[in-house]
Structures are given as structure tokens and as C-alpha cells.
Amino acid sequence: MRDPGTHLKATTSHWETMAIVLLAALALAIRLSYVHTTIVDHPLRGDVRQYFAYALNLANNHVFSLATPGQPPIPDSFRDPGYPIFLALVIAIFGSEQAFYLATLDIQAVMAAATVLIYVLLARRWMGIGAALFVGIGLTLWPHTITLPGYILSETLMGLLLALGLFFTDEAARRERYTWFAIAGFTLALAALTNSIFTPVTPLFALIAMWRNKPSRRLWTVFLVATLVPLIGWALRNHFLPEGQKSEDRVAINFVQGSWPQYHNAWKSSILNKDEASTSVMQQMEAEYSLFQEAPMRGMGAVASRIGASPVPYVMWYASKPVELWGWNIGIGDGDIYVFPVYNSPLSTPGVMKTATDIMFLIAPLILLLAVVGLVVIAIDWRSMPAALCLGALAALVLTVVCALLQSDARYAAPYRGVEWLLAGLSLHTIARWRARLARVAS
């Protein structure tokens, strides 16, 4: 991993600054326009209902609880605390009625645009203005990062915290100050408290950095401690909770659902079409989950027996899950780029944004392929890579592995799309450097 002081160029020209500002303004304008124009059909449903219950209990009772308003709020740990705390802060300022909903969407639009800007700045710092424009234009127009801020869901906050964590990590590596390492580690802990899939990423990376970068071992130790303190604090709180819904229950649900190739289609058909076969599949899933609740080993045995009875289709299914994760379609939802049904979306009605969305759909496989090449580049030449870029790559790999074992859906990759575009930009940047070297040799 590269030490500080080896970034591409310290200064930015006037036209580069203007280009970055215009990109950030365009990203903000598109997202604000989307949340003000698009109407979500029944926005308080599914995960949103749970997040809202947590936020109300935090705001009104100062208890982190999934209890329905009006019921005694019993503390639990079924959901991660980051996003409900954010919503509780919005409720404290705007109340819990319509103003809360509208303010949350506006704030998330700003957060999503800020996320784009951070990745543009990182790309500029590491690879130059060409890569920065590539990453910036791609993320500005990437539809999942436009539609997700229109829902009361955690992906937008998670995306911002991840981007900030990478930016602060890069600042820490450049400045070699304990304060910056502490800020970076704490920010990434907030990301893990928003989505627990991220939890192993920062400690694992810190340990690798301490091992491989001995002169900076004390700095990375501060980074590790700043990450672990909030996570251990939350784990201790959960350990002493009374019996109730816990995060382990959500993991079990995701594991069972993720082991059924039919899950996405069965879930939709059982709800929309009342299909008997799909309903039967959902009932079998529920039976396996009940076994996990009674005795986890029995539940694991039931899943293993089902897979062992016909292993080939399941092997193919699990092998395809990374493509589903980094693909286009949001399967656990309305489909395409939407979690819940929407009306009047500028991304689906004829116009400039629909054309841009169609283009993104066509190039999505190429971006994913370039990102995979970028991972290979990092694996080959990791010593010369910025630490924050290696951290982002590790985060994408951990997400892929975890979602391959549990549920896999394009929605879950939305907070990591900036990393995907950075890796794709790295791939193109590396190809350009190789071509330039070949041209010099030939001349």
C-alpha cells in the first residue's frame, strides 16, 4: 500500500476545478429533481416500516426498539442502529409527519450528490482528471444512486459513510497524523453500524496494514481502536438485552432466503399473483427459518439436505450470485432500478434521463468487467496503490462473499457503486499508462 506523498498531482487547474464543481452541481440537481418529481407508491412498507418504528421509539422513548408505536418499546438488535439514529435526528427537527418524509428525501439527495463528489475527488487525486471525469459522469448518471435516495432506506447513508471513510483514510495516509487515523476509523465504524456486512472490513484491513507497513504500525493501531470501540460498545449493549429479536435472526432469515434460487420470483408471485406453487416455496422457507430459531444446527442441516439432494443447480446458483449482486435488476422489490413502485419517474419516461439510463444499462456489464480488471491490477501492484483504494477494493470483495452466502441483490451493491467505478477507472488508467509506455519504447 502506497505511503503518503505519492499522489498524482497536488494542485488542480482552474478548468479542472470548474469541471468538478459542475459535476457535483449536476449530480445534486438530478437527485433533487428526482425526489421532487417521482411519487413512491405506499412509501411506508417493508424495511421502511421497521426503520420508521425504530426512529419513532428513539425520538419519543429514547429506546432502540422495533415495537410498533403504542406498544411498550422493548430494546432489541434486529436492525443496525446507524440509519434509525439518522431518521430520529430528522424527526427531532421536522417532526414525524409529511415534513419528515420530504426533508429525509431532500437530505438524502444531498448526501448522494456529496458521495459522487467524494469519489470524483479521490479519482482525481489518484488517477488524474480524466479518470475523475469518467467516475463522476458515471456516478452522476448511475440510476441506482438516483432512485435509492427516493426511499427511506439505509443505502444512501451507507454510501456516504463509506465514501467519507475512504476519503479520511486517504487523508490519514497522506498526513500521517493520529487524529486523521482516528477520524477515519470512527467514520468507518459508523458505516459498519449502518450496515453490519461492512463490520469485518475495517479491522481486517487495519491488521493487514499493521503487518505490511511496520513504520506506520502505531498509526494503524489508532485506526483499528477507533473502529473497534464503537462496534464493541454496540455488541456489549446487545449482549445484555432481554430475549427478543436479534441481529442473528436477520442473518438466519437472509441465509435461508439466499439458499433458495426461487426466492425472488416466489416472493413476488406469492404476493402479486397469489400463486400456490410460490406460496408453497415461501412456506418451506419459513419452516426452515423456524428450525433455525429452535436449533441453528437443525436449520443448517435442513438447508444442507435440500442442497445435497440436487447439488449442481445450487452450485450454479451460488456461482451466479455475485453477478446478481453487481447487476442491474433489484429483485427484492419492484424490479429494474426501483425498490417500490413509482410514478412519474424521469428515469422511466421519455427524455434525457431515460436515454442516459438506457445507456447506463448497456454499459453496465462493461463497467463490471473493468472493475474486476481493476481488482486484478490492485492484486498485482498493491504496494503502489493508495491505502484507501485497497480498502475500498476489500470492502467490495467482502460484500460479494457475504452476499453470495446470504441474499444477493443489486440494491445491496448501491452503496458500493462508487468503489466499482473507481476500480473501472483504475483499469482504464492502467491501460492508458501501458499504452503510453509502449509508445515511448516504440519511439
Position 40 in a domain: yes
pLDDT at 295: 80
Q: Distance of CA 365 to CAs 64, 368, 372, Å?
A: 41, 5, 11
Host H or E run for residue 179: helix 178-194
Q: Is residue 1 part of a domain?
A: no
CA distances from 42 to 49, 224, 342, 419 (A): 11, 42, 9, 32
Q: What is the pLDDT of residue 11?
A: 58
pLDDT of 1 reads: 57
CA gap 439, 443 in Å, rounded: 6
Number of folded domains that form the chain: 1
Q: Is residue 222 part of a domain?
A: yes
424: phi > 0 → left, psi -120 to 50 → alpha, else beta; which?
A: alpha
Q: Is residue 256 part of a domain?
A: yes
Q: Is residue 8 part of a domain?
A: no
Domain around 40:
14-442
* Residue 3 forms part of a structural domain: no
Q: Which amino acid is at 16?
A: E
pLDDT tens for the chain, 443 residues: list them.
554 334 454 556 889 999 999 999 999 999 999 999 999 999 998 899 999 999 999 999 999 999 988 888 999 999 999 999 999 999 999 998 999 999 999 999 999 999 999 999 999 999 999 999 999 999 999 999 999 999 999 999 999 999 999 999 999 999 999 999 999 999 999 999 999 999 999 999 999 999 988 889 999 999 999 999 999 999 999 988 887 777 777 888 888 888 888 777 777 777 666 777 778 888 888 888 888 877 888 888 888 888 888 889 889 989 999 999 999 999 888 889 999 999 999 999 999 999 999 999 999 999 999 999 999 999 999 889 999 999 999 999 999 999 999 999 999 999 999 999 999 999 999 999 888 888 888 77
DSSP letter assigned to residue 10: S
